[in-house]
Each structure stands twice: as C-alpha cells, then as structure tokens.
Amino acid sequence: MRTNFVLIDSENVKPEYIEKLRHDPFRVVVFVGAHLKRLDFPRVNAVQSLGSNGSYVQVSSPGPNALDFHIAYYIGRLSAAHPGAHFHIISKDKGFDPLIKHLRDQKIFCFRWASVLEIPLVKSLQLPPKQRAADFYKKHIKSTTTRPATVMSLQSAILSHFQKALSEKEVAEVLKALTAAGHVVVNEKKVSYPDRG
C-alpha cells in the first residue's frame, strides 16, 4: 500500500479536516512555528486520534521561511526512507512550487494543496458509492480492454484503485453500484461487461 504523507504548514493554513485522514495510507505531520506555546484542543484531538500516524514538528528557532525549510528537509528524509510514497504539502504558500517541480522531476510524487479536502484520495473517499463506481468505471473499465474476470479480482481492483482505504462493505457497495449502472454483470463468481459485445 502506498503511503501518503501529509505535511501541514500550520503558519500558513489552519489545520482543518485532519479527521478525514484516519484511513491507513495517511501519515500526518503538522509543522508549527518556534514561538507557538499552545495548540488548540480540536487540532490536538484530531492529530491524537490518528495515533502513531499523526505527529508534530516544532521549528527549533524562528527565521524567514524556517518552517518551509523544515518541510523540505522532512520530505527529503521521508522520500529516501519510503520510495514510492506520495507527499501532500498543505499550504497556500506558492514558494513551495519550485521545490515540488524539482521533486516531481526526480520522480517523487508531490503536490501542494490549500486544504486536506483537495487531496484526490480524500475527495474520492468522501464520495457516495455511486460516484465511486463512476470514477472506477471511467478509469478501469471504460478505458481499458484488460478487465477483471472474477468477482474477487474486480473487488481487488476496486480496493487498489482507492489505495486500499475502503472497507469490505464499501468495496461491496461500489460493486453493487457498478452492477446497478449496468457496467458489469455478475454471474456467481464470474464478471462480464455488457459494453463488450
């Protein structure tokens, strides 16, 4: 499973919607300024609810762009330790963009978002089953000729598409929505596709 590191610039954005990152592929690091003496309870509670998947880094001393340099340093460390991970910087600071371009040129998947809710995986996890099914259909059934032939392989493909962040029940709901929309036909353990005909 691909790990998604979410690095939050709390000097630039208010850390919100952290509870949306409770799914396993997410690891959250909230960066706070050197002068910050207290954190508000909702933020602390949200990060603490992530258990070992949530942490804080306080900048050791103040200075221009000190927090930004800390984020850059941690991306370097984490990308070396976790090849293939995705990195999401939550900040409105466009100063990160040259770094992000360089990282992507180095094949390190990194984006900047103004909010946690803009992360594509978070967006897709908030969708109802019908919209998840439409997203899956568009990317994995409609646009390809190699399709899962069994219910088990189709369920596995759905789970993989959503980076293993769906429960068994949620996968079953996506499969049910695909069937209801007429995109797949399930006959015992086999799957067929009506548009192949």
Percent of the chain beyond pLDDT 70?
98
Give pLDDT, residue 169: 92
96, 112 contact by CB (below 8 A): yes
Give dist(CA 51, CA 34) in Å, integer: 24
CATH architecture of 4-122: 3-Layer(aba) Sandwich (3.40)
Kindly state the tokens that stand for 39. Answer: 């954190």
Give pLDDT, residue 42: 81
Give pLDDT, residue 196: 63
Kindly state the tokens that stand for 180. Answer: 């209801």
- Which residues, given as ranges, of the chain have pLDDT below 50? 197
DSSP state of 121: H
Give dist(CA 14, CA 177) in Å, integer: 36
Task: Give pLDDT tens digits for 134-192.
Answer: 989 998 888 888 899 999 999 999 988 887 778 899 999 999 999 999 999 999 999 99
**Boundaries of every domain in the chain:** 4-122, 127-192
Give pLDDT, residue 20: 86
Pick from 181, 162, 84, 154: nearest CA to 122:
162
What pTM value is reported for the model? Answer: 0.76
Give pLDDT, residue 148: 92
